[in-house]
């Protein structure tokens, strides 16, 4: 019913998603009311595993809703592309779906359309429940006979025309989890044949998970788990209390009571540990001015602002294909720290100690390590069009690297105007002169200084392919260059001649029969 677009909020400086009604529903008052209802119901849920809904807007008579932009891929297309999810990652996504669904149920909402197409896997590999277009509150559904949902994921009572309940969502969750662990569609439309057990399809799924999914798929709603939190508790490693705290929620008394028995400490041990904790906090407060690196460096721009700046640089260089995913992290310039210690340089006489590395890709960024976040090295920069942009906290360019396309136009001129990247780095190209490249990735290089630091020598190297920049990096005197090739080893003619003489004597002795 809707079309979703990525957009940039120019006032707040971050990406959002805009959902419009399809043109054939634009004049449908019922569909318009459902769009309003989606925001009214969905914005009641605030959870890391649920896509946030913001507001309803209008432009030239066209209604749309604004919601959180999730950089990633929906679970349905992901499963079509890779087949069955690895058991460990599938278990992690299952816990996140149960946690997000529990948050919706705690707000008194029934989703009614939970399916892989309405689950996004974001750039960090986390599951996010989306599309509350058919969601309604428990009170609104009481006694209702509305037939709504996707048939292949509807519970038997929904197919019979009975009102949907929160346990109907648990049935849909079971269908989604079955596909997640097996890579196979559970049902097609309304058909409900005999469903093979997960363990008959794959043997690397924990039996507890198999039993929990089968319980969710029970035809009788009363035989299903009592709640989404009960599903979360049943999964190995699932801790609903810890999940609620991590999501910023206030655990209910029932949740705390179900978290397990508490232990006891003797009064003497407890007071000793308390005193140790207070002493540690006091010591940390005293030493933090000397030990906390961030206190020595001002961070004037937020990660979101730096990411927008990095994307602008990438598009300026010519990488204009829409990016499907992005991620980043702060790194510390260890080489600069060592240089400061050796030179005893003042802290305000060198570039920032922190760098913000942002990665963009035209494909989803999925770290190799399960549950890991996107870093400067994971996933590896292998996909054509993947771009890494490193900025200092002020937004000045430190490093640009891009994976070139597999095939380029050989006729394309390889001359690149490097002045825009010089400007992005805060450097005046007129203060630099060409020199030979000394780093392995460089084709052209320059030496010079920044206008605000004329006493600090700076070396810049760059490379291009097919008429587009693929590398640009600013080096300081603290960086140790890697030469393009290893220097030849010095020859030692006297030692080599001596070795030949010894070998000749041994061969002559063997021919004469001497041992």
Pick the catalytic residue from 71, 74, 113, 122.
Answer: 113
- Residue 137 confidence (pLDDT): 86
Tally of structural domains, the chain:
3
Q: Is residue 126 located within the same domain as residue 51?
A: no
Q: Is residue 349 part of a domain?
A: yes
Q: Is 220 a catalytic residue?
A: no
Query: Which range marks the domain in which residue 48 is found?
Result: 2-68
Q: Is residue 433 located within the same domain as residue 324?
A: yes
Q: Is residue 102 located within the same domain as residue 176?
A: yes
Q: Is residue 246 located within the same domain as residue 395?
A: no
CB 372 within 8 A of CB 289: no
CATH code: domain of residue 59 = 3.30.200.20
**Element of type H or E holding 357:** strand 354-361
How far apart are alpha carbons 360 and 327 in whole angstroms? 7
Q: Is residue 282 part of a domain?
A: no
Domain C-terminal end among 230, 257, 284: 257
Cβ burial, residue 216 (10 Å; 0-12/13-18/19+): buried
CB 201 within 8 A of CB 179: no
The first and second tokens of residue 119, run together, are 């689950």
Q: Is residue 6 located within the same domain as residue 101?
A: no
- Residue 248 confidence (pLDDT): 53
How far apart are alpha carbons 198 and 182 in whole angstroms? 6
| pLDDT one digit per residue (tens) for the chain, 515 residues | 778 899 998 888 889 999 988 777 767 777 788 888 888 888 889 899 999 998 888 888 788 889 999 988 999 999 998 888 888 899 999 999 999 999 999 999 999 999 999 999 998 899 999 988 888 888 888 766 666 788 999 999 999 888 899 999 999 999 999 999 999 998 887 888 888 999 998 888 999 999 999 999 999 999 999 999 999 888 886 555 655 555 455 665 655 555 554 455 566 667 777 778 887 777 665 555 454 454 455 567 778 888 889 999 998 888 888 887 788 888 877 777 777 777 655 544 445 677 888 888 877 777 776 556 777 677 777 778 889 999 988 889 999 998 877 666 555 556 788 999 999 999 998 999 999 887 755 689 999 998 888 888 889 999 888 788 889 999 888 876 544 444 444 444 444 444 555 555 555 555 445 44
- Residue 76 confidence (pLDDT): 93
- Residue 386 confidence (pLDDT): 87
Query: For the sheet containing 127-129, what is the strand order?
Result: 72-74, 119-122, 127-129
Q: Is residue 167 located within the same domain as residue 228?
A: yes
Q: Is residue 145 located within the same domain as residue 214?
A: yes
Q: Is residue 328 located within the same domain as residue 458?
A: yes
Q: Is residue 121 located within the same domain as residue 152?
A: yes
- Tokens 């100690």 correspond to 353
Q: Is residue 131 located within the same domain as residue 246?
A: yes
Q: Is residue 498 part of a domain?
A: no
The first and second tokens of residue 341, run together, are 């210690």
How far apart are alpha carbons 214 and 196 in whole angstroms? 10
- What pTM, to 2 d.p., does this model score? 0.50
- Residue 194 confidence (pLDDT): 83
- Residue 422 confidence (pLDDT): 93
- Residue 501 confidence (pLDDT): 55
- Residue 82 confidence (pLDDT): 86
How far apart are alpha carbons 272 and 469 in whole angstroms? 61
- Residue 50 confidence (pLDDT): 94
- Residue 424 confidence (pLDDT): 92
CB 374 within 8 A of CB 329: yes
Q: Is residue 449 located within the same domain as residue 465?
A: yes
Q: Is residue 487 part of a domain?
A: no
Domain C-terminal end among 20, 44, 68: 68
Domain C-terminal end among 68, 92, 119: 68
Q: Is residue 8 part of a domain?
A: yes
Strand partners for 8:
15
């Amino acid at each position: 019913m809707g079309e979703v677009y990525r957009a940039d909020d120019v006032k707040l400086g971050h990406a959002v998603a805009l959902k419009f009604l399809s043109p054939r529903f634009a004049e449908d008052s019922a569909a318009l009311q459902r769009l309003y209802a989606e925001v009214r119901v969905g914005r009641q849920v605030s959870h890391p595993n649920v896509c946030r809904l913001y507001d309803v807007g209008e432009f030239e008579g066209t209604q749309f809703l604004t919601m959180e932009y999730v950089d990633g891929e929906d679970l349905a297309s992901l499963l079509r592309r890779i087949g069955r999810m690895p058991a460990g990652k599938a278990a992690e996504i299952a816990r996140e779906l149960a946690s997000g669904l529990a948050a919706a149920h705690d707000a008194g909402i029934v989703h009614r359309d939970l399916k892989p197409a309405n689950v996004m896997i974001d750039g960090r590999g986390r599951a996010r429940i989306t599309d509350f277009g058919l969601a309604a509150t428990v009170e609104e559904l009481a006694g209702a006979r509305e037939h709504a949902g996707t048939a292949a994921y509807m519970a038997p009572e929904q197919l019979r025309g009975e009102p949907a309940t929160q346990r109907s969502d648990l049935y849909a969750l079971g269908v989604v989890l079955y596909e997640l662990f097996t890579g196979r569609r559970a049902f097609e439309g309304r058909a409900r044949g005999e469903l093979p057990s997960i363990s008959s399809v794959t043997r690397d799924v924990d039996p507890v998970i198999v039993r929990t999914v089968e319980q969710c798929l029970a035809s009788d709603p009363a035989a299903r788990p009592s709640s989404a939190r009960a599903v979360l508790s049943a999964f190995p490693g699932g801790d609903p209390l810890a999940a609620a705290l991590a999501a910023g929620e206030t655990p209910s008394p029932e949740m705390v009571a179900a978290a397990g028995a508490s232990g006891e400490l003797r009064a003497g041990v407890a007071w000793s540990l308390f005193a140790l904790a207070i002493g540690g906090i006091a010591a940390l407060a005293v030493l933090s001015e000397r030990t906390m690196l961030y206190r020595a460096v001002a961070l004037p721009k937020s990660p979101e602002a730096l990411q927008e700046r990095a994307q602008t640089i990438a598009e300026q260089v010519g990488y204009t294909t829409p990016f499907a995913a992005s991620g980043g992290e702060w790194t510390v310039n260890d080489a600069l720290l060592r240089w400061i210690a050796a030179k005893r340089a003042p802290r305000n006489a060198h570039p920032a100690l922190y760098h913000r590395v942002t990665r963009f890709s035209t494909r989803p960024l999925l770290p190799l390590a399960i549950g890991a976040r996107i870093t400067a090295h994971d996933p590896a920069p292998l996909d054509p069009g993947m771009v890494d942009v490193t900025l200092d906290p002020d937004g000045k360019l430190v490093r640009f690297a891009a994976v070139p396309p597999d095939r380029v136009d050989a006729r394309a001129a390889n001359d690149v105007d490097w002045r825009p990247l010089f400007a992005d780095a805060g450097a005046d190209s007129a203060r630099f002169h060409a020199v030979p490249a000394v780093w392995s990735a460089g084709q052209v290089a320059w030496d010079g200084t920044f206008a605000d630091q004329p006493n600090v020598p700076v070396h810049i190297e760059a490379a291009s392919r097919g008429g587009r920049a693929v590398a640009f990096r600013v080096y300081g005197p603290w960086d140790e260059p890697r030469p393009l090739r290893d220097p030849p080893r010095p020859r030692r003619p006297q030692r080599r001649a001596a070795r030949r003489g010894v070998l000749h004597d041994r061969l002559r002795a063997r021919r004469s029969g001497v041992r």
